[in-house]
Amino acid sequence: MFTKILIANRGEIACRVAATARRMGIRTAAVYSDADAHARHVMACDEAVHVGGSAPRDSYLRWQRIIDAARATGAQAIHPGYGFLSENEDFAQACQDAGLVFIGPPASAIRDMGLKAESKRLMEAAGVPLVPGYHGQDQDPALLQREAGRIGYPVLIKASAGGGGKGMRAVDKAEDFAAALASCQREAAGSFGNEAVLVEKYVQRPRHIEIQVFGDRHGHVVYLFERDCSVQRRHQKVLEEAPAPGMTEALRRQMGEAAVAAARAVGYVGAGTVEFIVEQPGGYERPEDMKFYFMEMNTRLQVEHPVTEAITGLDLVEWQLRVASGEPLPLAQDQLRLHGHAIEARLCAENPDNDFLPATGQLAVYRKPSASGFEVADVRIDDGVREGDAISPFYDSMIAKLIVRGRTRAEALGRLDAALALVRIVGVQTNVQFLRRVLATPSFSGARLDTALIQREQGRLFGQDPLGLDMAVAAAAAHIMLAERAAETPDPFSRTDGFRSHGVASRRIDFDHQGQPVVAKLRYLPGGLHLQVGDEPAAPLSFTPQDERIDVRYAGRRQVVQVFRRGAALHIFGTDGATAITELDPLASAGEGAGEGGRLTAPMPGKVVSFAVKVGEQVRKGQPLAVMEAMKMEHTIAAPRDGVVGELLFAPGDQVAEGDELLRLAVSA
């Protein structure tokens, strides 16, 4: 066994690997960029080496610096985590050439499975079922469009190299193919250095089910059951669970054996995932009719590996280390067992109501269920951040992974919702409330799963505020009044409790809630406070502080909430959900204009990829104007209203900061 390893990654996976290594008595060395100088993964390891600038290409992708760092620290092996260099065959070979063990598959297996087109040819020879499509080397756009027509729309364009949903577009009709192809190629070239694509049939009502495989250097290969990863946005996973709901034992065995055959076909060693697209021609109620097709193999550990660990009781990183050091697999296929059900939720810095646009900022508040005063059984959190850390534009938007296990799927669902209800994040927008809404949909709770679930349930998922305006205003007013009471002096003339020697005291508080002005009126009556929200009738308001929480009773509802103030914004968390409301100073905003007019600004830091319009061009509301690249993904910027393009203020390739004005729209004549 190794005595020291270097972890060539960052964030939660680096912390995850370091934790297992520490338990096994193995010392660890971290690498870090300028942006990560004080990151949690640096502190989680025994020593750390600086490898370059903040952008991945200047640090975590500079594999010669990583190898030099391993040599300098005396590490015997390198664990690549996932992302970055984990599926880079040149890096794996360079490790071997440098006398270092690459904790992953041989370079030849990465090469064979790294290019989707080549891997599909290998799988066809191994008897693994394939989706109909074009996997050839000729990348002429006209040929690719003809092949799409032959396959029949809708089709899926996919980058031949890489994964993670990057360089992937679904195309419904021929006239959209050329633009989608160009976007895929740009994203693939930027993410993987290879713009080659393949075109496949877009399977209707598909499920995304993957099989965890493990191989050793002694010829043993096993499968550790399946994970359902069907709930996705932008072709990236949102929720993952194991085992897959509705899976029959016969289908589990068939898919497991096909995955093992795929691994054997390339001489696979270590942890890998064989991903299948599963067609449901008989509908959700007839799993026996499901058909599966090979999609790709991820030649690394997956983000969602904790759900497999939860249902098998195994540590997959420990297995990686043992296999890489030359040991045989710890268990044979007939010794592996399933126990219960596990679900993983990815907590991301993003705005679901704005097409999941990634967000940046500081984690001013970051509280996890274990630190909230309540315990939820069988909850695990994998993260690489702490309160006060920054979510930067340089890396992936994931903040943490929340994993729960239950005896049944229903129990796991309940525990996951309870755990999400206890997450407190202030400073960046997140998808936490969106995840809770997904869990509550009939499709997810009823295991009616496919990759279109989010689109199908969008009416229940977007623009919702389960806490409610009335309760949000009541909680905000209670927090403001409690803060004022805490600051009061014994001077009776300075008190804000509404006391009057005669008459009734009243007070107005102005708020902004989701972009809409709200007026709250408080009346101090002999029987207690009464609150009126907008034009609604006034109702009694009472509240009692409970440590960091407030027990609020208003308009027939009672909710125990937790409120965090950040500037003028009040972030309110309750069991029903969370929201934010901003206290306004009417004097401070007096005389301000109605808005920004024709300015169109960057929603986050990034790079301008292209403009879809020219100066003088007439545009309509919702029309694509520009494409930006940020957090390793492309984002389309649309026109907020009708108008005429007055000026383009940047050029393709320019870096922009959040809030930079990209172009100006003039009012149509």
* 118: three-class secondary structure by DSSP: helix
Residue 565 is a catalytic residue: no
Distance CA 211, CA 340 (A): 17
Distance CA 40, CA 56 (A): 17
Beta-carbon contacts of 43 under 8 Å, excluding residues fewer than 6 positions away, are: none
Instruction: Let me know: does 229 contact 303? Beta carbons within 8 Å.
Output: no
Burial of residue 621, with CB atoms counted within 10 A of its CB: 0-12 exposed, 13-18 middle, 19 or more buried: exposed
Instruction: Let me know: does 634 contact 609? Beta carbons within 8 Å.
Output: yes
Tell me the CA distances in angstroms from 295 to 198, 273, 288, one per residue in order: 11, 11, 20
Phi, psi angle pair for 30, to nearest 5°: -100, 160
Distance CA 429, CA 577 (A): 14
Question: Which of the following is catalytic: 300, 367, 437, 448?
Answer: 300
Distance CA 16, CA 6 (A): 13
DSSP for residue 334: G
Which residue from 147, 200, 155, 201 is spatially nearest to 176, judged by alpha carbons? Answer: 155
Distance CA 556, CA 537 (A): 13
Instruction: Let me know: does 60 contact 8? Beta carbons within 8 Å.
Output: yes
Structure tokens of 325? Answer: 């050091």
Burial of residue 13, with CB atoms counted within 10 A of its CB: 0-12 exposed, 13-18 middle, 19 or more buried: buried
DSSP for residue 467: T
Give DSSP secondary structure letters for 474-505. Answer: HHHHHHHHHHHHHH--S-GGG--S---SSS-E
Helices (H), 24-62: 40-44
Three-class HEC string of 550-607: EEEEECCEEEEEEEEEECCEEEEEECCEEEEEEEECCCCCCCCCCCCCCEEECCCCEE
Give DSSP secondary structure letters for 405-466. Answer: EESSHHHHHHHHHHHHTT-EEESS--SHHHHHHHHHSHHHHTT---TTHHHHTHHHHSS--T
Q: Catalytic amino acids?
A: 300
